[in-house]
Amino acid sequence: MAWVAPTYSRSEVDRAGRTFVDPAASAEQRELALVVLNNWRSCHTFPLNTLQMNLRKQTTYRDGDPTVAQRIKRLPSIRHKLERMPSMKLSRMQDIGGCRAVVSTVPVLNGLVEYYAEASRIKHKLIRNDQYVLEPKPSGYRGVHLVYRYYSDRKPTWNGLNIEIQLRSRLQHAWATAVETVGLFTQQALKSSWGDEAWLRFFALMSSIIAQWEGTPPVPGTPSDPAELVRELRDYVTRLDVITRLNAYGAVVSSISGAAKGHTFLLELDIQRQSVSARVYQDRAVAAEEYSAVERAVENQPGKDVVLVTVESVESLRRAYPNYFLDTRAFVESVERAIRPPSTRRAPRPSRRLSQPRAS
C-alpha cells in the first residue's frame, strides 16, 4: 500500500488552515481548504506509523500488558485549536499525528522516559518535552508528551513532519478518559479546563488522590492533608452524583461492521443514544477517505463524534480509547476506592513489572 505524501507547500497548508476557521469563507473556498487539510493530515500517517512501531517495541520490553495506539487529529479538534490560538499556523501544529502508550505503573513509564531521554537512541529530533507527571496541569492532567520532528535518510519525503508521543499510567489514563467522557456528554471542554467549576474541581481532587497512590506530586491548589482531600472529594462525588452519572454513561459497542481483519478503525459515537459503531479497514487510504466524509456528515450534528485510530485488535481499541466506548469503569472503581472509609480503602495493586533488557 502506498503511503500518502505531502502534496502542498507549507504556505498553502497554512492558508488552508486560516480558511478552515474563517466564518466569511465561501463554500467553494472551504471545500478547497479541506482538500489541502485532509492531505496534510493523511501524510502524517507514515512517520506516525514509524514512531508508533518503535514505541510498541519499547513498551513491550518494559511492561507485561501495554496498550499502544495511534491516531490522526480530528477536524473538530484542529478547528478548536486554531480558533483558540489564532496565531498558530497549521503547518506547525505538533499533534496532527499522535501515538499513545498506556503502561501499568509510573516506574514503567519512567523507564520509557529514560529511554527517550537518550537522544542517540532515536534519530528524529525531539522538539518538545512536557513532563506533566512531575508537574501536573492545574486541571489535574498527568502524562508525558514528547514531540519529534521526523527525519530519515531513506524516506526524506516526510522529513520535517511533527509527531507527538503520549505516555500515561493506567490510572492517569482512566482519569483522562473520564474527563473526556463527561465532557462529551455535558458538551463542555473539560479537558481544556473550560466548563462547570464543580466538575473541574472534582477532577483536580481525584487527580491528587491518584498522585498519592502513585507517589507523584499533587495538583496545585488541592488540599495537602489527605483527610481533608478525601472529605472534599466525597462532597463533590455526592453533589455531582458522580458514580451514578458515570455508570449511566457506560455502554458497549452497538455494532462492529466490516472485515474481521485489519487494524484501522473508524469510530462513530452517538452521545444521545449512548452507542458506538466501529468500521474496520485493511486499506488506510480508503479509511482516510471515509473518515473525511463521515466527519463532514456529522459536523453540524450535536452529540456526534468520529475518530480514526490504528491498533492491534478490537480489545486493544477498547483499552486505548475507552471514552469512545463510553467505558468509565476503571475510573469509577478508583473513585469508589478513594471515598471508602480508611479501614476498607486500598490503593490499586499495580501489575508486576517485567525486568528491563537493554534497549535495542
User: Grid coordinates standing for 145?
Assistant: 508528551
Residue 251's pLDDT is what? 59
Burial of 11 (0-12, 13-18, 19+ CB in 10 A): exposed
Residue by residue, pLDDT tens for the chain (360 residues) are 579 999 999 999 999 999 999 999 999 999 999 999 999 999 999 999 999 999 999 999 999 778 999 999 988 889 989 998 999 999 999 999 999 999 999 999 999 999 998 865 678 999 999 999 999 999 999 999 999 999 999 999 999 999 999 999 999 999 999 998 888 788 788 888 889 999 999 999 999 999 999 999 999 999 999 999 999 999 999 999 999 888 877 754 555 554 445 678 888 888 777 778 888 888 878 888 888 888 888 877 877 888 888 877 777 777 777 776 767 889 999 999 999 987 555 555 544 333 333 332
Residue 277's pLDDT is what? 82
Residue 166 belongs to a domain: no
**Among residues 235, 203, 236, which one has the least CA distance to residue 219?**
203
Residue 280's pLDDT is what? 86
Residue 156 belongs to a domain: no
Residue 300 belongs to a domain: yes
Residue 72 belongs to a domain: no
Q: 147 forms bridges with which residues in the sheet?
A: 128, 164
pTM, to two decimals: 0.81
Residue 143's pLDDT is what? 97
Domain that holds residue 285: 251-327
Residue 245's pLDDT is what? 87
Q: Count other C-beta atoms under 10 Å from residue 51's C-beta.
A: 21
Residue 271 belongs to a domain: yes
Residue 5's pLDDT is what? 95
Question: Positive or negative CA dihedral for 77, 168, 177, 228?
Answer: negative
Residue 358's pLDDT is what? 32
Residue 255 belongs to a domain: yes
Residue 30 belongs to a domain: no
Q: How many angstroms separate the CA atoms of 14 and 163, rounded? A: 18
Domain count, the chain: 1
